[in-house]
Each structure stands twice: as C-alpha cells, then as structure tokens.
Amino acid sequence: MPSRSGPLTKDTTTVALGLAQIRVGLSATNITKKNPVLASSASIGALANTNFTSNAEYFKLESGYPLLEDATYPLREAAMLEVAFKEITPANFALAKGLNPASYTNAHTGTIALGTISTPVFLRMEAIYTYPDGTNTMNIIFPRAQATAAIEMEFAEEEPAAVAVAIEAKRADSGITDANNPGNTCWDDAPLGHIIWNNGSTLTTTTTTTTTA
C-alpha cells in the first residue's frame, strides 16, 4: 500500500466544527477574572454564525536600490468577534444597539428606542467553543469590549432572521482608570483579552488582583 502524503490529521479532537456559545455581561463586574465566569444563562442564544478575527498591521522598513526589506515593525492590533443572532429579543437587540442587554429580562416585553445613538456600554464577552468530542474547549475572552452594528433584520419565508453584531475588544489593562469601567493589572500582559484552551479540567474563576479605580 503506498504511503499517504499531504496534510494528514494529527489529532482529530482538535478540529473545530460548529458554533461557539456567546455570553455577555458587564465588564466592570468581572474585570479581575481571567478565566470564564459568565453562566450559560448569559448566552445570547441561537446563532447563524460566529467569526473571530485578530487583525494586525505592520510597517516594513526598506532601503537600498532596488528596495529590499530590512525589518518589520508592529503598528497596531485589534480583536473582534462577529456574530449573527437568531433570537430576536429585546436583550439581543439592545446588545446590537450598544445598550446593556441585562436591562431586558423578558424575551417578549421591552422597548428599544431608535434615533438615540450613544456610546456603547462596556461588556465582558466570553465565546465558549466546545470541540466535537464534548470535552475540550476553547474560550475567547474580551474582558472590556463594545458592541457595534449596522442593524439589518431580513425576514424570509423559510429562513430565520439573523442580526449581525460586531463585538470589539478594547484595552483592559491597568492603564485604563475609568471609574465606571476600569481596567485591571491582571490584563497587563493581555490588554485585549486572551484565548484559553482547556481539556475539561476545572478553571478557577477568581484572581488576587484588585480593580484599579
């Protein structure tokens, strides 16, 4: 039998298939926590898609004739999670409008005002992805994030409406001294948040650091 070639699977338990569960809460409440802390009840529900991006821009130093590259220097970095939620509730619509979704507790009761755009609230976002084996997880945490959306809700005969929202990571390090939405020293080494892989063991949810005010 001939030997196989090409990119063969090394570990079938590492292949990602399916969507992450997206949980949101207020940033300041859990700013000292590095591991997942939001309960499944904080989930925004069924989704059409989840898309994580971590963009970076670089400056390339060139010299000589003809120009050749000497070095690459980082300019900026950003992280974002784009989702499209299927459950059209006041809480999810509030999230898309940059409001606090926790202020809306009933799935079929509430009012969202239009024409009142304001600065989006600071949220904690946890994307909990469980691999197909049902044990291993990948957890994306934005400790201090804001949600933005150009809301488009398209109704169709045989497909559920899905509203797209971008949840953008913002700095959460101790340099942020906002009294209402501070950063914390526990994020000095990961200002925009981090990704934690876990093999099913219990993750601790608290830290010994204190909030910087």
Residue 6: inside a domain = no
Strand partners, 129: 138
Using the predicted structure, report yes or no on whether residue 205 has a pLDDT greater than 90: no
* CA angle centred on 113, ends 108 and 119, rounded to 5°: 115
Confidence tier at 201 by pLDDT (50, 70, 90): confident
Give the C-alpha separation, 191 to 29, whole Å.
Answer: 17
Residue 209: inside a domain = no
Query: In sequence order, what DSSP letters do the residues of 16-46 get, joined into one string?
Result: --SPPEEEEEETGGGTT--S----GGGB---
Q: Cβ of 64: how many Cβ atoms within 10 Å?
A: 8
Using the predicted structure, report yes or no on whether residue 111 has a pLDDT greater than 90: yes
Instruction: Give the pLDDT score at 2.
Output: 61
Instruction: Give the pLDDT score at 17.
Output: 93
Q: Tell me the three state secondary structure of residue 92.
A: helix
What's at 195, amino acid-wise?
A: I
Q: What is the pLDDT of residues 70-83, one digit of tens each?
A: 999 999 999 999 99
Strand partners, 124: 25
Element (H, E) at 195: strand 194-198
Residue 25: inside a domain = yes
Residue 64: inside a domain = no
Residue-range definition of the domain harbouring residue 90? 17-54+78-198
Give the C-alpha separation, 14 to 12, whole Å.
Answer: 5
What's at 10, amino acid-wise?
A: K
Q: What is the pLDDT of residues 118-130, one digit of tens each?
A: 999 999 999 999 9
Residue 65: inside a domain = no
Instruction: Give the pLDDT score at 1.
Output: 52
Q: Cβ of 53: how many Cβ atoms within 10 Å?
A: 10
Strand partners, 49: 84
Count: domains in the chain: 1
User: What is the reported pTM?
Assistant: 0.91
Residue 89: inside a domain = yes
Most distant pair of Cα atoms in the chain: their distance: 69
Q: What is the pLDDT of residues 34-47, one digit of tens each?
A: 999 999 999 999 99
Q: What are phi and psi of 42, to 5 degrees?
A: -85, 5
Say what percent of the chain tops pLDDT 90: 90
Instruction: Give the pLDDT score at 98.
Output: 95
Q: What is the mean pLDDT of residues 132-150?
A: 95
Residue 59: inside a domain = no
In whole numbers, what is the pLDDT of the chain averaged over residues?
A: 92
